[in-house]
Chain A
């Protein structure tokens, strides 16, 4: 037998190997497969494999009417369902040049901001769980439930609402809506304090996120990142500020920008955004306009021939609807520019060279929703 000299450390013995993370893995929050090439614990390369939940929504829209395909968009980013519906409604209203009643606009913004709150709360819980803290996950679901109760009472659904339709909203809100929102906001403010006490100041949690997953400003622009991911890299890109829709231009709110560029910066941006959402709802809830909640629409909508692009700010970033119409009752082509699809591209450059444990931290703060990637 050959004798191995172990008096000197062996430096040529590392072997590259491949680990598949997913498609069924708790930290991918859905069915995404990451083929990770590892050298010891260090990540050498990541290849994302998508398509496990691809439903061909873009193809389906071509055989559905304009009012019908909106239902499918709730199934893409299911945590921003209201906002996706809003984007499609706005694109269709733009084509038909319909003015939406003031009450409907206010209700839309309140619903969209509540949706952002639910999404960020769920992200907070799952992010902490990915870091190994289980309690926040239950707290997040408890708090999200308070908002879902309001959604359920007013829209009839908890996850896929289809509440915002072309011309306004599906039904008027309940008489108890204003009071329930005011009660809710009081609670949510307390919840946010609780979140900070529990996790934000936690030294272990901070060490897991600080300096991890560095995404420079130039790279974020090149990769097409939007939303909190881009704003944590110092890019000012809030659609609500630059291309306001549904009356965001009349509201006062801050665009949260952080120049930290790491996972911790992304955490801070989302925590601050929750406070801004509360502030937006507070401005609207006291003087909710009276009147109609929907303008009358024709049964079958026909958009004039042409192209319409509408973008909105979902909880994850810029969501765009690109409708190409040939004048018929069905769209000729619809493209959904989903925020998670572009943000996924950032995963590879921010994790290469780091340890595999940090991959979870980076993924958690990118806040990917897999059905939104696959469509």
Chain B
């Protein structure tokens, strides 16, 4: 499906999600409770077949977190972006997508390390880059780095 067809298809089949656009891909806003059922449907429906998670990351929007999932299909080569809003910043947690894509294990470890977002049902949640003793979560906007002050 090309981008326009995919957008129309998503609007018809996922009425509970808001369909939007980014510069490159169609964008689907998903509620955090409905994430697993939605991605399960996206992956296993024959028409969409989004079987490849090529990027998973988070953005700190100061008032909330955005989790960003970039999906593609190895069969049709169409792409989609999924976004989930996490309002509770102190105790952010969300269901892991590891059961659907094993690549999520490392991506989610990195997000936990850098943003402090917990993933439920993750097989081995740990701080892979910085280690457990590192104070704070560096990629949050409120993180203050006393040693390397660099503002241009």
Contacts and interface: CB of A to CB of B under 8 A. Distances in A.
Interface of A: 47, 49-51, 54, 56, 58-60, 63-65, 94-95, 219, 221-224, 226, 235-237, 242, 306-311, 318, 320, 322, 324, 330, 332-333, 335, 337, 341-342, 344-345, 374
A56 B77 CA distance: 32
Given A59-B138, A337-B55, A308 B24 contact: yes
A51 B131 contact: yes
| B interface secondary structure, majority | loop
A224 B130 contact: no
A324 B25 CA distance: 14
A51 B132 CA distance: 12
B63 interface: no
B151 A63 contact: yes
| A interface secondary structure, majority | mixed
Nearest to B127: A51
Contacts of B68: 322
A84 B106 CA distance: 21
B70 interface: yes
Given A63-B150, A237-B74, A242-B77, A318 B54 contact: yes
Contacts of A374: 129
A223 B74 contact: no
A307 B23 contact: yes
A236 B74 contact: yes
Contacts of A306: 22-23
A43 B78 CA distance: 38
Given A50-B129, A51-B128, A223-B102, A56 B138 contact: yes
Contact of B59 (A63, A242, A324): A324
12 contacts: A49-B128, A51-B131, A95-B23, A221-B74, A223-B103, A307-B81, A308-B24, A322-B55, A324-B59, A333-B139, A335-B55, A342-B54
B41 to A, nearest CB: 17
B53 A224 contact: yes
A54 B129 CA distance: 7
Nearest to B149: A63
